[in-house]
């Protein structure tokens, strides 16, 4: 069974640019959650999508947005990048039924210069 696939693995962007990250969940999983991980703040919740609808949202500015497609694949977008957006962005997949934990992908490491 294939795991959670995140692309790209690494990205370098310039301040002010925008970026789109992609996540393909485990087949059959309908929930995708996104987290930002930094050394200082740890894992911070961005948002969760379930069956193409945003079910939960964390305390991040509106520059951070996401969406989920009918095949459960998800994308997150960050506009007007800031230096502080440099982080590991992790996608987590689950059935969404609450009976099991999340399966994480390997993440996309974003560096903003």
Partner 1 sequence: QKEVEQDPGPLSVPEGAIVSLNCTYSNSAFQYFMWYRQYSRKGPELLMYTYSSGNKEDGRFTAQVDKSSKYISLFIRDSQPSDSATYLCAMRENYGQNFVFGPGTRLSALP
Query: What pairs with residue 111 in β-bridges?
Result: 12
Q: Is 56 in the site for partner 1 (CB under 8 A)?
A: yes
Q: Which stretch binds partner 1 (CB under 8 A): 14-22, 62-70, 72-80, 98-106?
A: 98-106
Cβ contact 45:56 at 8 Å? yes
Judged by CB under 8 A, how many residues of this single chain contact partner 1? 22
Considering only residues 57 through 86, tell me which ones interact with partner 1, judged by CB under 8 A. Answer: 58
Q: Which is nearer to partner 1, 58 or 73 (CB)?
A: 58
**Cα Rg of the chain, angstroms:** 13
* Three-state SS at 84: helix
Which of these, 30, 29, 56, lies nearest to 45 by C-alpha position? 56
Which residues contribute to the site for partner 1 (CB under 8 A)? 4, 6, 33, 35, 42-43, 45, 48, 55-56, 58, 90, 97-98, 100-107
């Amino acid at each position: 069974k294939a795991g959670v696939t995140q692309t790209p693995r690494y990205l370098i962007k310039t301040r002010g640019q925008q970026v789109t990250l992609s996540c393909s969940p485990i087949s059959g999983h309908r929930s995708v959650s996104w987290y930002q991980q930094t050394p200082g703040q740890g894992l911070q919740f961005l948002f969760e999508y379930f069956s193409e609808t945003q079910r939960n949202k964390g305390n991040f500015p509106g520059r951070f947005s996401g969406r989920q497609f009918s095949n459960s694949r998800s994308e997150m977008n960050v506009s007007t990048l800031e230096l502080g957006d440099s982080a590991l962005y992790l996608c987590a997949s689950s059935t969404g039924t609450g009976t099991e934990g999340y399966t994480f992908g390997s993440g996309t490491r974003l560096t903003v210069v």
